[in-house]
Amino acid sequence: MAQKNRSNNSAATFSGDTLIRFEEVSFEWNHSKPILEEVNFTVRRGTKVTIMGQNGAGKTTIFGLVMGASGKEGGSVPESGQVYVTDGATVATARQVIPRGDLELTVRAFFEKCFDTKMYDIDPRIEKILEVVNLHAPKGGDDIKERLVKTFSGGQQARLLLASALIQDPDILLLDEPTNNLDKAGIEHLTQFLVDYKKTCLIISHDAEFLNAFTHGVLYLDVYTRKVEQYVGDYFDVVEQISARIEKENMKNAQLAKEIQENKDKANFFAMKGGQMRLVAKRMREKAEELEEEKVDVRREDRTIKPFVIPAQADLIGEVMHISSYSVLSQKTHKPVTKKCEISLRKKQHLLLTGPNGIGKSTLLEKIVNGAEGISISPGIRLGYYRQDFSMMGFNDTVYQSLEKIVRATQGRLIETELRAVAASFLITSDTIHTKIGSLSEGQKGLVAFARLVLQRPGLLILDEPTNHINFRHLPVIAKALDAYEGAMVLVSHVPEFVKQVRIDEILEMGK
């Protein structure tokens, strides 16, 4: 077990030479949304550090500042303070999603973009790094380097993103939610890679089990104070240390409150005596005021979304959806193969789609939504679709506009109070409700997507990896809502702990 010591907003360090240092760093978006305020921390060479915090706290901002300090394109610069990266240290990042403009590239062109100069030995490098991330070319199939990025599944694209960082062999590796979309085998492969990895790595993730396999320390972004708290140990160590800190702070405040009340009572007693006793009363009141100033602000926990219900479309009768055939991609030839089945979903029936990355689960969800051959949906059924890339939402819409469109389409008119109440339950505050969807963090987009489903009241709920990017504190609340959903539901998820909490009535194992 890692040693349990910590330093709050100080120069706490992990073993090795300092590679990254933040000194009094402040950062804000659009001069109206402060993210970091006078943040201090260091990262030592060869350590693997987790960055944790509530959705929208600024975890990805930390990555942007490190990239900016190293001279990487697309990096950020602090409003004040300094970010230091050791001279000559190289930085590479695996983002959460592939930029839309890169989806039309071939795999070779996608990797070529990772380098500032032309790499003449790029093909063997690509082949080697794809082996590392367990993304193999099918035997006898087309050259994987010639395939377009957009033809890969979400899980396979996650592996391409990881490979695009690893191929650069950087001194500092930045990974943003690297387990998103990965199946069990992919997560195991990535975990072992990071256990063996000798260089410095900063990881943003909400997967505690994954992190605990290799983490040396945690940088915790407090969304309330906008500070970074630095801990040594894994996620479970951090929870233990934070709980102990909160208990200590509460005990101190309770003791101070007792002393304050005693001084106030004495001040009132002596004030009634008159004469010289009034001076004593004055000193008692001053002492009470001094004690008030000694009270500490108890560390506030990350807020969790409120328990919610996704109302099912009213008057659902009979069969909601029928699947008689579907396609899978052969893992050997990468060519589609049609399979027959007989799946009927009615009210209160939940279907889980399983199978390895690239088998065609997300493609099947798309076909359900678009009404492809072999799939029929009863007339009048309202579909609620949670896409893993959030493209069901207009990125140029504000959060308010996105929710307003759903309310008007569902109920024919705007019900302002309902809109704002649902938004608030998903931590969509007055600060964010008029922010464009495209400017939100991926986790915040996920919460907006769930708010839309609540307002939409679907009869058929389609969910593609709904745990991606979401703060782990919210997942039990979301699982409970899906478990209780009374419409028909189709779910894709690679998180067994989450799926166990959701009622599943039928499973379609697409890999068989």
Please tell me whether residues 486 and 374 are part of one structural domain. yes
Strand partners, 37: none
Please tell me whether residues 109 and 210 are part of one structural domain. no
Please tell me whether residues 265 and 410 are part of one structural domain. no
> Could you report the per-residue pLDDT of 114-171, keeping only the tens digit for each?
888 888 889 989 988 888 887 876 555 568 888 899 888 877 888 898 889 889 889 9
**436 within domain boundaries:** yes
Amino acid at 459: G
Please tell me whether residues 207 and 326 are part of one structural domain. no
Please tell me whether residues 186 and 325 are part of one structural domain. no
- DSSP secondary structure code for residue 380 in this structure: T
Alpha-carbon span 166 to 132, nearest angstrom:
9
**240 within domain boundaries:** no
**How many Å separate Cα 330 from the centre of its chain?**
31
Mutual angle of helices 399-411 and 442-456, in 10-degree steps: 20
Asked whether the predicted pLDDT for residue 12 surpasses 70, the reply is no
Domain that holds residue 256: 248-294
Please tell me whether residues 419 and 481 are part of one structural domain. yes
Asked whether the predicted pLDDT for residue 340 surpasses 70, the reply is yes
Split into its structural domains, the chain has a count of 4
**H or E segment at 229?**
strand 228-232
Among 169, 184, 215, the domain boundary falls at: 169
**393 within domain boundaries:** yes
Strand partners, 91: 172
Query: CATH no. for residue 2?
Result: 3.40.50.300
Amino acid at 258: K
Mean pLDDT within 230-243: 76
Residue 248's CB is within 10 A of a number of other CB atoms, namely: 12
Please tell me whether residues 481 and 458 are part of one structural domain. yes
Alpha-carbon span 151 to 148, nearest angstrom:
6
Asked whether the predicted pLDDT for residue 401 surpasses 90, the reply is yes
Two tokens at 166? 């690893």
> Could you report the per-residue pLDDT of 252-278, keeping only the tens digit for each?
778 878 888 888 888 788 778 777 787
Classify burial at 5, counting beta carbons within 10 Å of its beta carbon; exposed 0-12, middle 13-18, buried 19 or more: exposed
Please tell me whether residues 442 and 503 are part of one structural domain. yes
**238 within domain boundaries:** no
Please tell me whether residues 14 and 84 are part of one structural domain. yes
- DSSP secondary structure code for residue 152 in this structure: S
Q: Which residues touch 193 (CB under 8 Å, ≥6 apart)?
A: 132, 133
pLDDT of residue 496: 83
Two tokens at 13? 């360090």
pLDDT of residue 510: 86
**46 within domain boundaries:** yes
**163 within domain boundaries:** yes
**158 within domain boundaries:** yes
**314 within domain boundaries:** no
Please tell me whether residues 139 and 178 are part of one structural domain. no
Please tell me whether residues 386 and 480 are part of one structural domain. yes
Sign of CA dihedral 457, 475, 352, 97: positive
Query: Mean pLDDT: which of 108-117, 172-181, 202-211 is highest?
Result: 108-117
Q: Are 122 and 128 in contact (CB under 8 A)?
A: no
Asked whether the predicted pLDDT for residue 7 surpasses 60, the reply is no
Least confident of 40-54, 252-266, 389-403: 252-266
Q: Are 456 and 281 in contact (CB under 8 A)?
A: no
Q: CA nearest 155: which of 366, 300, 417, 358?
A: 358
- Stronger pLDDT, 364 or 137, i.e. the higher one: 364
pLDDT of residue 1: 32
pLDDT of residue 30: 67
Alpha-carbon span 350 to 475, nearest angstrom:
18
> Could you report the per-residue pLDDT of 423-469, keeping only the tens digit for each?
999 988 887 899 999 888 888 999 999 999 999 999 999 999 998 88
- DSSP secondary structure code for residue 439 in this structure: G
